[in-house]
Structure 1
Amino acid sequence: MAGNPTQRKSDVLNAHVRAEIDDWLSRYPQDQRQSAVLGALRAVQHEHGHLTTELMDAVADYIGMPEIAVYEVASFYSMFELEPVGRHTISVCTNVSCMLRGADQILAHLEQRLGIRLGETTPDGRFFLKREEECLAACCGAPMMQVDHVYYEHLTPEKVDEILDSLE
């Protein structure tokens, strides 16, 4: 950015992401723009797969927050990935309802089927098995998992295989 004084850090955000961040910003008073940081980071991660320092700096610039404050938020919440991950993120709920209904078997099946453990990405970059999720708020559908932004409930190993096979 030093070579072009008119370029801003937020210029790396595309129009789609800016529109989504603007939607979040519209929900808060002008003097509380920082309240949109979670939505902004979610939009950026959805677009790019994970949050780089450059992208977090862009969010900070766009919503007018100190960069360190954006880093603190991104590193605090488990929903944000600061390193590259697989194309499809799989999160298995491991809270009480899901564990009582077989979440541990679903996790074991996923690890065996994908050949990876929690927190790892398949060698082909296709799947990321996210660290344990304490609760995904779908207890009535236990056991359940989230793949990208879609919930799958009442899981069995066979149903998990069907879901994985349907993803490109």
Structure 2
Amino acid sequence: MSVEHAGAAAPHEHGRVPGERHAVGYDEETRARLTADAQEIIARYPQARSALLPMLHLVQSEDGYVSPRGIAFCATTLGISTAEVSAVATFYTQYKRHPNGTYTVGVCTNTLCAVMGGDAIWEELSEHLGIGHDETTEDGAVTLERIECNAACDYAPVMMVNWEFFDNQTPASAVEVVDRLVEGAPVAPTRGASSVCTFKEMSRVLAGFPDGRADEGVGAGPATVRGTVLARERGWTAPSFDADERTTATGATHGEPDAGEAQSSAERPETTPADVSPAGEQRKQKSDDAKES
């Protein structure tokens, strides 16, 4: 069977671990090394299957993406099916299902970054590199991503390279960064480690294997801690509430229903299909359970 089909789900066979028949692709030396790393990961958890997320990063650090043979390895090692592994691998965006570039460049285009110029940065990089979202340059150097949020609004607009911060970017500065990446020149993020590592190297860090660089660079700049500084200067502290006296946003205390809550179920309109969101359905189920009890 070819590696391309190694990740396909297969019926369970009596006496065999799900996914075992697909455990092909890695040579003996590589498999032994990955197995040793996997056992170290598994030892961190009370149940082996809980190790799946870091193990996906582990195989990604080997192949540059979550490959069919990587999926088969995870399934065999954890005693679960390849379908279960694939379901997780396709849910999270940090797991790539096709070969990734040496550097993943993520441009935030969420609200604040967009207002500050994130869309302009994205358009400039996409045109400059000749690729779109989740596409890779022909030389394999850069994969470009449009990111919903880089969790660094205090330095918008922000770009990340293999999840290292590049703050306060402009279209010109972003192009300069990717050009240096393509050239193979060293690139230093504005915060964090003193240089950008490769996608495979970062994947291994995310698998839980430290690279010894946690203390490099600046973790939080002045904008990040501005609120804390102001609070200390002005003597601000968080309010303390007695649990029984804490009030809601409407001014009603816990245990005292507001006008809407006081309305009986008989007076409330029937729920229409459009009202049934997952959260609404969960609330409805809890209400029905309470009535039955």
Matched, 1:69 2:84: yes
Match of 2:41 in 1: 24
* Deviation for aligned residue 1:151: 2.1
Alignment of 1:1-168 (within 5 A): 9=23, 12=26, 13=30, 17-18=34-35, 20-29=37-46, 32-130=47-145, 132-167=146-181, 168=184
Deviations along 1:25-62, one digit per CA (max 9) or x if unpaired, are 23210xx2111111111122133211111111101112
Which structure 2 residue ranges, 5 or more long, are not aligned? 2-20, 185-293
CA separation in 2, counterparts of 1:151 and 1:16?
A: 31
Residues 24 and 116 of structure 1: is their aligned pair in 2 closer, same or farther, counting only changes over 3 Å?
Answer: same
Q: Please, what TM-score do these two structures have when normalized by structure 1?
A: 0.81
CA shift for structure 1 position 110: 0.6
Structure 1's 17 and 116: CA in aligned 2 closer, same or farther, altered over 3 A? same
Normalising by structure 2, we get a TM-score of 0.49
Q: Which amino acid aligns with 1:91?
A: G
Change (3 A) 1:11 1:124: closer
- Which stretches in structure 1 are left out of the alignment for 5+ residues? 2-6
DSSP 3-state at the match of 1:110: helix
* Paired amino acid for 1:107: W
Preserved CA contact (<8 Å) 1:144 1:153: yes
Report the secondary structure of 1:107's partner residue. helix
1:82-123 deviations in whole A, cap 9, x for unaligned? 112322221112222211221101101111211112222212
Structure with bigger gyration radius: 2
Which residue identity lines up with residue 59 of structure 2 in the other structure? V
Distance in 2, matches of 1:77 and 1:51, equals: 11
Which of 1 and 2 has higher RCO (CA within 8 Å, sep 6+)?
A: 1
- SS of 1:124's equivalent? coil
Q: Given the superposition, is the C-alpha separation of residues 71 and 162 from structure 1 closer, same or farther in structure 2, using an over 3 Å criterion?
A: same
Shift of 1:166: 2.5
Percent of paired sites with the same residue: 36
Give distance in 2, aligned partners of 1:82 and 1:14.
20
The whole-number CA distance in structure 1 between the counterparts of 2:150 and 2:77 is 30
How many residues align structurally?
160
| Closer/same/farther in 2, CA of residues 114 and 8 from structure 1, 3 Å limit | closer
> Letter of the aligned partner of 1:154 in structure 2?
N
SS across alignment from 1:92: strand
Taking a change above 3 Å as real, the CA distance of residues 10 and 40 of structure 1, as seen in their structure-2 partners, is farther
